[in-house]
Chains A and B, each alone.
Chain A
């Protein structure tokens, strides 16, 4: 039944999202007020008949979390408020004109908020409660910032969200800890459990965390600053969220957990201190405010402080006072907010000094405001008067600091009286101030809701028996276990009555001497003026600044910095395990020719790194490449050596000509420090690499895989003798296919980049390839020879050194050299297809060659032979050949000046 109620509310919110014409919308929302009104009556009946409802659905059973709802006296009183005030707010909102009314979500958001808030007060399981808690926070963010085009609204919404969510996070930790300590997440069971939470060592931590969350939500000191800021919200939002519901969530939680966490000095001290400080802070800020809604906000803050104070005080007087105050505060505050909205609607301003003598122009509004203010001031015969007397009784009977607590309560209530006077006397009576624009009073439909609420606070005071039996008793019962104190309007001449009188007079004094008090507070030195909000703004500012700073340092946009960081991390990571003593493992003996290769490598590296001009560096790289190729040759890696030589030769020819044909940048000043750091990193990287390689090679080596491949190829039925080639094309053909795909993709990427890049004018350098006659002559002769040789290498690759990779490199190199000598148009004439197509064709051929065995029930890419030199592997190699040719031509093409031959 409870979850059904929640579901109805949420779903109706969805209905309200649909686009309706504004005229229909008004009546639809008015009619929607029946839903919360109905729920309110239902809750009231349950409460009156003392029925308690429980409901649970399994949710996260592995984590022991249950979606559990319960309705008892305490939940009931809150649920009554939520739905009752909710009905009034819906009625009000229907007739309230928000300038951007075309935003459809407003009424839906209000309904969803109602549902979420109901979920908070009905939840029995702490995780369920947290979920609904955060949901109210999110929806309130959307509602407070509803006029999102105003910067102030956005800022206020963000501030409210950040502060309450910060508290919510702390609260979650505290609740989970509590669940652990108590052994269950169900609050109703936590109350019953024998495990005394109070004696557990984590108890203070739990209390601090939970109290932080509740304080943040209910705007208790030191989190009280977000509430006045949230007054940028449209008035229905202020009337609902910030007076009757959301801010009461923290108070609800504290009350709900009092049986579990209460009964200790820490609890009482925290709550009493927080509540008292809030009362004083609100009073001080009230004196300075000139905005109508912010004045009401400060009185709300004070009211919440008073409620918190009452929770902290043990005893039935305090609990009863709490219940009474809860009800009446919601009633009159919502009513006053709505009235303030009506005043603003009529006069288009909220600034207090601009208003005066409006009773003639706004009679109905005046009546509403007056009744509500009488309640706020706590004058008899309103329910608030009863509540105030009970409050004084509770503070006077407090076990410690009775005098201080009472004084604080008096000051707070006096400030409320002052606020009440400001809202009525200042605005409606007194000298008439001139107002710009014409004043037209709001319709009675708009004023109906606040009127009803205000009258209710009056009526419940007179007929307080209903309240006492129906509402107060069950709620106090739920917390204390016994019925509360009796409510009476007239308790005889008692200290409380005296205090009430003192409060009224003090309040009037505040009102009369407000200008003097304002001057006094302005004259205070800055150090004494409380600036809690400054901490929040300062924290946000500091966060943003540090983010900017760290981004500027880390993301400097300089490649050298990025690379330095990368290499440093790599070097450190490799250097970590190396203190082990490194020995070289066994390997072949060195021969004299090996030293030749090594010398070339060293020479090439040194020259390449230290050269001044670009071309010199490339030549150094060329020498280095030859050295590496020779080294491969001398250790018997013939295929690899062939590939290395072919690749190096052609690549460097292309690069040198490309580099030389463009003007080199002027040689920059060498910066000593920068060079030294570079050298340092380089040496570190080199040392670490050498040690790492020595360490690797000193370990045991498992030769099983290599032996397996050699044995496979040596087997009698196998066609082919070149083991390396067999690995690439037969045993690991799938990997090679993947590499072909990668090469093709890179080819296409280069082609795409090249074809789209705008070609700016080149600064011409000294060399122009057409002038190199030696190229012209030699390449004309060499081209056909090299092409034939490449094909020969391709076909013999399976039995002798060679293969598709080497053949492709040779062919592509020959074509590139020819292009350098004779111009690229001649190459294009010879190869009619654009090179990237050739690469794609090669990839397709390789895949087809792999698919052929499938037709004879053999696996993909299995090597099948028709004759000694013709088989699926040869087709595969041809595919490799084409991919390499196409790829190499494409990546070389950006270096050919001017022309784009294949377009």
Chain B
């Protein structure tokens, strides 16, 4: 699982960087989405997945025999990260939309639509 998480986060980072270096701002936004999730994966990996049981104790416990509890700390981090992440992503796309409404639509290289033709 640790190796899989490492490979997946690397792949996602690669995709995110590829998107963020694109000329279209919309694609940059998609890259931001991927980067946020990649970071979440890294956090989970860093917390070491030692067990798969949900971290509920007492009466609510659903632990089967032989299973270990997961690490609650990275889960707490990632939960807030997701919420803040969607705020950031929505903001980026709001900016993209505003840029689309400009008369001369700009791309990340600073050239406008007219020049492309």
Contact = CB atoms under 8 A, between A and B. Distances in A.
B14 A801 contact: no
Interface stretch (A275-283, A370-378, A637-645): A637-645
A135 B3 CA distance: 66
B38 to A, nearest CB: 8
Contact of A638 (B54, B78, B83): B54
A683 B14 contact: yes
Contacts of B19: 608-609, 617
Contacts of A605: 11-12, 14-15, 34
A888 B82 CA distance: 12
Interface in A699-751: 701, 703, 705-706, 709-710, 713-714, 721-724, 727-728, 732, 736, 739, 742-743, 746-747, 749-750
B80 A636 contact: no
A601 B12 contact: yes
A587 B46 CA distance: 11
B34 A624 contact: yes
A742 B18 contact: no
Contact of A635 (B26, B27, B40, B44): B44
A220 interface: no
B43 to A, nearest CB: 10
A621 B80 CA distance: 20
A659 interface: yes
Interface string A865-903: 000000000000000000010011001101100000000
A606 to B, nearest CB: 7
Contacts of A519: none
Contact of B15 (A609, A614, A640): A609
Nearest to B85: A647
A639 B75 contact: yes
Nearest to B15: A605
A165 B61 CA distance: 76
A681 B57 contact: no
Given A564-B21, A668-B116, A697-B48, A721 B60 contact: yes
Contacts of B28: 559
Given A588-B50, A608-B15, A693 B10 contact: yes
Interface string A671-687: 00000001101110111
Contacts of B55: 636, 710, 722-724
B57 to A, nearest CB: 5
Interface in A601-631: 601-602, 605-606, 608-609, 614, 617-618, 620-621, 624-625, 628, 631
Contacts of B17: 567, 678, 681-682, 685-686
Interface in B48-102: 48-61, 68-73, 75-76, 78-80, 82-91, 93-94, 97-98, 100-102
B26 A617 contact: yes
B30 to A, nearest CB: 5
Contacts of A689: 9-10, 13-14, 38, 42
A734 to B, nearest CB: 13
Contact of B52 (A588, A732, A757): A588
A665 B105 contact: yes
A598 interface: yes
A530 interface: no
Given A594-B4, A706-B71, A724-B55, A617 B116 contact: no
Given A647-B86, A746-B91, A805-B80, A617 B75 contact: no
A507 to B, nearest CB: 67
A53 interface: no
A887 B12 contact: no
A805 B79 contact: yes
Given A621-B33, A689-B13, A800-B56, A710 B73 contact: no
B23 A743 contact: no
Given A643-B83, A647-B86, A693 B15 contact: no
A760 B46 contact: no
A557 interface: yes
A887 B94 CA distance: 14
A727 B72 CA distance: 8
B75 A594 contact: no
A759 B72 contact: no
Contact of B6 (A563, A584, A586, A762): A584
Interface string A634-674: 11111110011001000100110011001001101100000
B11 A601 contact: yes
Contact of A696 (B24, B30, B45): B45
Given A640-B78, A757-B98, A588 B49 contact: yes
Nearest to A559: B108
A590 interface: yes
Contacts of A694: 2-3, 6
B94 to A, nearest CB: 4
A585 B2 CA distance: 7
B26 A728 contact: no
Contact of A759 (B53, B90, B101, B110): B101
Nearest to A671: B23
Nearest to A806: B79
A690 interface: yes
A592 to B, nearest CB: 13
A743 B88 CA distance: 10
Contacts of B46: 693, 696-697
Contact of A617 (B27, B45, B57): B27
B89 A651 contact: yes
A746 B94 contact: no
Contacts of B18: 609, 678-679, 681-682
A647 B83 CA distance: 8
Of the candidates B27, B28, B40, B55, the one having the most CB atoms from chain A within 10 angstroms of its own CB is B55
Contact of A739 (B3, B57, B84, B103): B84
Interface of B: 1-15, 17-24, 26-28, 30, 33-34, 37-38, 40-42, 44-61, 68-73, 75-76, 78-80, 82-91, 93-94, 97-98, 100-103, 105, 107-110, 113, 116
25 contacts: A558-B110, A560-B23, A586-B50, A605-B15, A621-B30, A624-B12, A628-B41, A643-B82, A647-B83, A665-B113, A668-B107, A697-B46, A721-B60, A722-B56, A727-B76, A728-B76, A728-B80, A742-B84, A753-B94, A761-B101, A762-B101, A799-B56, A800-B56, A884-B83, A892-B90
The 9 lowest CB-CB distance pairs between A and B, nearest first, are A686-B14, A690-B10, A891-B90, A682-B18, A894-B94, A605-B15, A693-B6, A721-B60, A587-B2
Given A587-B50, A668-B24, A705-B73, 12 more contacts: A559-B109, A585-B2, A588-B50, A588-B68, A608-B30, A625-B37, A637-B44, A687-B14, A691-B10, A703-B71, A714-B57, A722-B55
